[in-house]
Amino acid sequence: MDKLLIRGGRSLQGEVLVSGAKNAALPELCAALLTAEPVTLLNVPQLQDVSTMLKLIRNMGVVAERADDGTVRIDASGLNTPEAPYELVKTMRASVLALGPLLARFGEATVSLPGGCAIGSRPVDQHIKGLAAMGAEIVVEHGYIIAKLPAGWKRLKGARITTDMVTVTGTENFLMAAALAEGETVLENAAQEPEISDLAEMLIAMGAKIEGHGTSRIRIQGVEKLHGCTHRVVADRIEAGTFLCAVAATGGDVVLRHGRADHLDAVIEKLREAGADVQAVEGGIRVKSPGGATLKAQGFRTTEYPGFPTDMQAQFMALNCIAQGTATVTETIFENRFMHVNELVRLGAKIQVDGKVAVIEGVPRLSGATVMATDLRASASLVIAGLVADGETVLDRIYHLDRGYDCMEAKLRGIGADIERVKA
């Protein structure tokens, strides 16, 4: 397995390009299944999860070509196997996003239950509840979700859907299913993430009738058919937030080209309170910092958007490890999203975890060591810690990082970090 070799202590200067958002590109690749006409996605990030999703839709009979410039051309006219098999789904839970589109366009879908992952059990019961409310007959057996329309039905029927909790991919499945359903669908406690709005904009470009995206109530008027479109994937706010935390921790002055400050209010607010200077600039975000050791540690609670994102919890914790004072971090979304803590402690951090709460006491310095990535954002947290630790940090199992970050080490090297990938 590849490793990352990081020598800490450098400040970061210059400009880095923020890629397209993983969590927008994945549902948008599935949205292309809703039409037999060609769909072109621009600014698709080069990630392992995107490669997996391309494999999944090609497995259905879809033609999908990815160019080096991030353009992906999809032709789902030949889709003949509305299935998402276990061997692909087990490596990427987001495969469940095929469920809504396949049901909406073909009236049937067989999608493997995703199973849990490192950060939690990740059930999809709410996806099933919402699609059943639209008329789908769904059974779960032998590890598969088997969904179909009732006999004689041509389309799903619009419904009013209120899920037990806010679910991002659940909202996305409902948006895609409702776009082709008969009548109106109202999502009462929809997720409000920017990736939801980006997906809605793509569906509208395909002819869908959607309003309220970006708020907790979304209304969709189903249409008979959707046509092709060209859509540019929105910039990745979590990649941008990760780089903001990295520069805040190491110190420096960096512009994140294409970064959207308006998608990162909660994180930027905390970075400013810590003492970093973060400003929206023409075409991006500029962050300046004297270095983590001079910043003030910030407590926070993760909540649904527009609150502090759970996907930024591990990265900000790395900053708190060396900032001044003690901070309390509460993870309210996932039940097991503190696996980076033990590895940060190996680097000299002082962290106590009790259930959903972690208390971080800032220390003057971290010391490099060999650490292990356990999940995507934990990996990013350990990269940030390695960038500030004294000496050399070796990060193992970085396939976790490759799932969600497009050439992170090359981007960091481009702004002055001493980091290299050691091929297995």
Q: Which residues carry a binding-site annotation for phosphoenolpyruvate?
A: 22-23
Tell me: does residue 333 bind ligand EPZ (CB under 6 A): yes
Task: Work out how close the CB of 54 gets to ligand EPZ at its nearest, in angstroms, rounded to a whole number.
Answer: 15
Tell me: does residue 165 bind ligand EPZ (CB under 6 A): yes
Binding residues: 22-23, 93, 122-126, 311, 333
Tell me: does residue 127 bind ligand EPZ (CB under 6 A): yes
Clarify whether 229 is annotated catalytic: no
Residues 6+ apart with CB under 8 A from 386: 4, 6, 8, 347, 368, 371, 393, 395, 419
Q: Which of 223, 230, 186 is nearest to 207 (CA)?
A: 223
Tell me: does residue 376 bind ligand EPZ (CB under 6 A): yes
Tell me: does residue 125 bind ligand EPZ (CB under 6 A): yes
Which residue's CB is nearer to ligand EPZ, number 5 or number 407?
407
Tell me: does residue 168 bind ligand EPZ (CB under 6 A): yes
Of 310, 374, 379, 393, which lies in the binding site for ligand EPZ, with binding defined by CB under 6 A?
310
Task: Print the binding letters for residues 86-105 with ligand EPZ: x by CB under 6 A, - otherwise.
Answer: --------x-----------
Task: Work out how close the CB of 372 gets to ligand EPZ at its nearest, in angstroms, rounded to a whole number.
Answer: 18
Which residue's CB is nearer to ligand EPZ, number 219 or number 356?
356
Q: Phi, psi (5° rounding) for residue 355?
A: 65, -120
> With CB under 6 A as the contact rule, which of the stretches 22-30, 101-109, 181-189, 380-388 interacts with ligand EPZ?
22-30
Residue of 117, 229, 321, 407 marked catalytic: 117
Which residue's CB is nearer to ligand EPZ, number 168 or number 387?
168
Question: What's the number of CA atoms in the CB half-sphere (13 Å) around residue 222?
Answer: 24
285, two tokens: 């975000």
Which residue's CB is nearer to ligand EPZ, number 212 or number 306?
306
Tell me: does residue 188 bind ligand EPZ (CB under 6 A): no
Of 70, 170, 252, 362, which lies in the binding site for ligand EPZ, with binding defined by CB under 6 A?
170
Write out the catalytic residue numbers: 117
Binding site for ligand EPZ (CB under 6 A): 22-23, 26, 94, 120, 122-127, 165, 167-170, 310-311, 333-334, 376-377, 404
